[in-house]
Structure 1
Amino acid sequence: MISVEARLARLALKGDQRAFAEIVELYQDKLYHMSYRMLYNRQEAEDVVQETFLRVYKNLARYDDAMKFSTWIYRIATNLCIDRLRKRKPAYSLDAESTDHEGLDGYAMIPSDNRTPESELMLSDTQRIIHQAVETLPAKYKSVMVLRYLQEMSLQEISDVLEMPVTTIKTRVHRGREFLRKKLEHKL
């Protein structure tokens, strides 16, 4: 039994534009959130999503429906994000988007019934500090940490997306956490 996405991919490959539009509808928000969490730049995240769908469209014939469609599309988007991170200048400003409050979404906010101006300020400062620490992660750890903790993928799913052994993923998650712990223990 093939998945809905695999069926849509087959239809899109035969020229069904509505099927491809459904694929876009299913994944555009998920891919945008993942890309934004890796790049912390709205424009770059939007560009990655657009480029992902262009590549999906061009390579539909190469999609193997024995593989989960989500794994395939996330692999494309993640690789595009990693490429962008590698191309960035080392002098990239850590707080380039920190004033971008529109970039904060429901996932970035911790729910609370009794917010005060003081608690909002503390929350904002904590988010800024964590954002800066994640931004300094090397690309190989950043991609794994975003997929694991922000996209809530299993180690096996990350392994499939990044085409790496699960043991390598475990090691990178551990090292990424250690990197963040060391960065944050002096700031929080």
Structure 2
Amino acid sequence: MSSLPCPDDSLLAKQAREGSSAAFGTLVYRYHGRVFAFLLTLTRHRQDAEDLTQETFVRAWKKFHRYDSSQPLLPWLFTLARRLSIAALRRSKPLPHDLPQPEPSSENDDALWLWEVAKRELGPDAYSALWLHYREDLPVKNVAKILGKREGAVKVLLHRARKTLAEAAKARPPELPKPIPAFR
């Protein structure tokens, strides 16, 4: 996934700034899934992520005059989404820590297992930095801007997150190979 704007993002952004709802709709269609996935990593609840995704795009429409069209749109949207999720978290009651976590759909999927470990073991900033940099393929500079941190601080977060995940991977018990079905 590239963090560079699509060739027509700047044109669509210009049209949206001038009030074109069709241009803005195209941008929403293009980035809705990625904003939703990012918010899902922050909220860990589908309904909250859906609500915040909608709120993010409503806020983007209202604040589009503040968007610098010389910059990629996605980091700006992620910044709006993160700020809205923080505000929502402050308004809500904290959930109990002992809620059951859904099991990964495939026990053999190492990447899925690693993201589950990251959710459990990392703090919100470290997890967000990891998601934005490795899943969304954003440069550290953009991740720092989204998280409101210095680039050096984001590099430290990423280093510590990788170290934590490496230790978890070493501690993971090896999986036994599945038996080969016998032919009859």
**Deviation of residue 186 (structure 1)?**
3.7
Q: Percent identity?
A: 25
- C-alpha displacement at 1:182, in angstroms? 4.3
Describe the SS at the equivalent of 1:66: coil
Q: Measure the CA separation in 1 of the matches of 2:10 and 2:164.
A: 38
Match among 91, 96, 102 for residue 91 of structure 1: 96
Deviations 1:94-148 (CA, angstroms, capped at 9, x unpaired): 534x1585xxxxxxxxxxxxxxxxxx5x326984575154234211211101112
TM-score with structure 1 length normalisation? 0.72
Deviations 1:2-24 (A, max 9, x none): 96323323322332211111111
1:61 to 62, 65, 75: 65
Alignment of 1:156 onto 2:141: yes
AA aligned opposite 1:52: T
Are positions 1:146 and 2:151 aligned together? no
Instruction: Please identify the structure whose Cα radius of gyration is greater.
Output: 2
CA change 1:144–1:61 in 2 (3 A) is same
Question: How many residues are aligned here?
Answer: 167
Residue 93 to residue 150, structure 1, CA distance change in 2 (3 Å): farther
**Change in 2 beyond 3 A, CA 1:81/1:72:** same
Structure 2: gaps of 5 or more residues: 1-5, 174-184
CA–CA distance in 2 between the matches of 1:168 and 1:69? 23
CA contact under 8 A between 2:52 and 2:84: conserved in structure 1? yes
Structure 1 residues 177 and 61: alpha-carbon distance in aligned structure 2, compared to 1, 3 A threshold = same
Unpaired runs of 5+ residues, structure 1, are: 102-119
1:159/1:165 contact within 8 Å kept:
yes
8 Å contact kept, 2:126–2:158? yes
| TM-aligned CA deviation for residue 159 of structure 1 | 2.1
How does 1:1-188 map onto structure 2 within 5 Å? Answer: 4-84=8-88, 89=94, 91-93=96-98, 95-96=100-101, 98=102, 120=106, 122-123=107-108, 127=112, 130-188=115-173
* TM-score, structure 2 normalization: 0.73
* RMSD (CA atoms): 3.0
